[in-house]
Amino acid sequence: MDETTEVGRLGAEHRELLGQVLDKWSLEVLDRLCERPRRFNELRRAIPEVTQKSLTATLRRLERNGMVERDIVSTRPVGVEYRIAPLGKTLQDLIDALLQWSAARLPEVQRARDRFDAAEG
Amino acid sequence: MDETTEVGRLGAEHRELLGQVLDKWSLEVLDRLCERPRRFNELRRAIPEVTQKSLTATLRRLERNGMVERDIVSTRPVGVEYRIAPLGKTLQDLIDALLQWSAARLPEVQRARDRFDAAEG
DNA sequence: CTGTATCCAGTTAGATACTG
DNA sequence: CAGTATCTAACTGGATACAG
């Protein structure tokens, strides 16, 4: 296999999976559910910027991928509890590491952005 | 601080940063550049599904965030070499871990998807 | 070789209103 | 409480043509 035809080790399926699990809201939802199970509106309050529609879509996608489980509480009115699934639990350390990386490096990134924006003007 | 007002530990700035660094093509581009510097078309060949437009946009974004550096080679016609920046290097272990997680867990995820899709029909 | 520019179809996200 | 439905504005991505 020569260099000119060398292809990535990441197939489309892996890109799709990581895209569904690392997207805008999923990281934060999973992080929250790793702490403890949460109700729908509890998650909304914990992530104030997410809309109901986007949170619903995020939770469905995570459920479909086996990352979270959904528990219907038969009260009136009904409640729904979301909790981390075993498969989602395998992501916990990775998510923690990503959030810590972001917190640690954001200042450096900001300086890089300022340099870039100043140079291209 | 009571539970009803508790908010996430991830602010909008962190979500934006992770979004720019973990997006569809960035992971694979960074992974490739961690191995060694690459030319533009070399990256295109390594990631056959990416269009020129998207690869350009991805590289600009990564450059702006201090993740990659851009080196213009004054030949005719000109060449451009991209290489990982020190800040991008701090992501390498995380990226490796994500790719490995994806490779290890994809089969389980597929089974979860099949179950979900069968149940909701 | 490494881009930029343009057009355009398809997806996505917010706002709002409504339901079991 | 936990959604679904609808409309619409904004963004995204592919195709194509062209340029330094």
Say whether pLDDT at A12 is over 60. Answer: yes
**pTM for the full predicted model:** 0.92
**pLDDT tens digits along A62-84:** 999 999 999 999 998 999 999 99
Least confident stretch, A45-49, B10-14, B40-44, B57-61: B10-14
pLDDT in tens, A82-105: 999 999 999 999 999 999 999 999
Please give the biggest Cα pair distance in chain A.
65
Question: What residue ranges define each of the domains in chain A, with the CATH number in brackets?
Answer: 12-120 (1.10.10.10)
Q: What confidence score (pLDDT) does residue A4 get?
A: 47
Residues on chain A touching B114 (C-beta within 8 angstroms): none
Strand order in the sheet with B38-39: B38-39, B79-84, B68-73
Beta partners for residue A39, in sequence order? A81
Residues in a beta bridge with A83: A69
Query: How many C-beta neighbours within 10 Å does residue A80 have?
Result: 13
B 13-52 residues inside an 8 A Cβ radius of A: 13-15, 17-19, 22, 24, 27-28, 31-32, 42, 45-49
What is residue A12's DSSP assignment?
Answer: H
Q: Is the CB of B17 under 7 A from strand C?
A: no
* B86 Cβ nearer than 7 Å to chain C strand: no
Q: How far is CA B62 from its chain centroid?
A: 9
If DSSP codes are grouped into helix, strand and coil, which group holds residue B73?
strand
| Chain C nucleotides covered by protein, CB below 7 Å | 1-6, 13-17, 20
